[in-house]
Chain A
Amino acid sequence: GAVVSQHPSWVICKSGTSVKIECRSLDFQATTMFWYRQFPKQSLMLMATSNEGSKATYEQGVEKDKFLINHASLTLSTLTVTSAHPEDSSFYICSAKKGGAGNTIYFGEGSWLTVV
């Protein structure tokens, strides 16, 4: 099946710093990628939809200036958590849609962010 890779898997950063998480589709081109956040024992919460070559669409309540999303190519989207705070500590997961409507979405392995 299709592979989506996230990096880093684990990251610890200090409050006030920024951290970038990469999401790559390794064997297919993804015109659309999605970023989710998941707290322990809770479901996935969509943060934003990222389309290649255009600005991301953010869900209500998600700060655009805090969570910067760049989808510069058909195989790479990045999420940058700016000026991180301890409450930003979470599990961040990306996914990539392989084609048009109805195609399967493949998920990365997720990235654990801890802000200290």
Chain B
Amino acid sequence: SQKIEQNSEALNIQEGKTATLTCNYTNYSPAYLQWYRQDPGRGPVFLLLIRENEKEKRKERLKVTFDTTLKQSLFHITASQPADSATYLCALDTGNAGNMLTFGGGTRLMVKP
């Protein structure tokens, strides 16, 4: 069956360190993978999109990798700040027009000062 797995346990790190979140998937062939941030009681906010032919994408302190062989994406936040504390969701898009995103369960990140 198709699965998107993110670590359901909260990730606690110290301010200034690099946070690394994992998204693993099975029985999907996504053309795109996206990462979103969600704060409590708010809608998700788009962060980054990476295509299947891209291995890495960067945006400011954010870096995403996409390994279609391992069926895994890693999401890194460097020089983390308490304001980065939120739930981070990965989502797969198989690339067909009109296809919805399928979301992982999200990982809650807590950055301590």
Tell me if A44 is interfacial: C-beta within 8 Å of chain B.
yes
Partner of A44, one of B45, B89, B98: B89
Flag if A44 contacts B44 (CB, 8 Å): yes
Q: Which residue of A lies closest to B6 (CB)?
A: A43
Within 8 A of B (CB), among A82-106: 91, 93, 95, 97, 100-102, 104-106
Flag if B34 contacts A109 (CB, 8 Å): no
Flag if B42 contacts A109 (CB, 8 Å): yes
* Contact pattern, B 74-105, Cβ under 8 Å of A = 1, otherwise 0: 00000000000000010101011111111111
- C-alpha gap A23/B7 in the complex (Å): 31
Q: Chain B residues near A107: list those with CB within 8 A.
A: 36, 43-46
Interface centre among A6, A34, A44, A49 (most CB of B within 10 A): A44
Partner of B44, one of A46, A93, A97: A93
Q: Chain A residues near B41: list those with CB within 8 A.
A: 91, 110, 112
Known: A43-B89, A51-B98, A110-B41. A105 touches B46 (CB 8 A): yes
Known: A42-B105, A44-B103, A107-B45. A101 touches B96 (CB 8 A): yes
Number of CB contacts from chain A to chain B under 8 A: 61
Measured as residues with beta carbon below 8 angstroms from the partner, the interface class of chain B is 20 to 34
Selected A-B contacts with CB under 8 Å, 29 pairs: A4-B43, A6-B43, A31-B98, A34-B101, A42-B105, A43-B104, A43-B106, A44-B44, A46-B102, A49-B100, A95-B43, A101-B31, A101-B95, A101-B96, A101-B97, A102-B32, A102-B49, A102-B93, A102-B95, A104-B46, A105-B91, A107-B36, A107-B43, A107-B44, A107-B45, A108-B43, A109-B42, A109-B43, A112-B41
Additional 16 contacts, C-beta under 8 A, given A6-B43, A93-B44: A1-B46, A42-B105, A43-B89, A43-B104, A43-B105, A44-B103, A95-B44, A100-B97, A102-B31, A102-B32, A104-B34, A105-B34, A107-B36, A107-B43, A109-B43, A110-B42
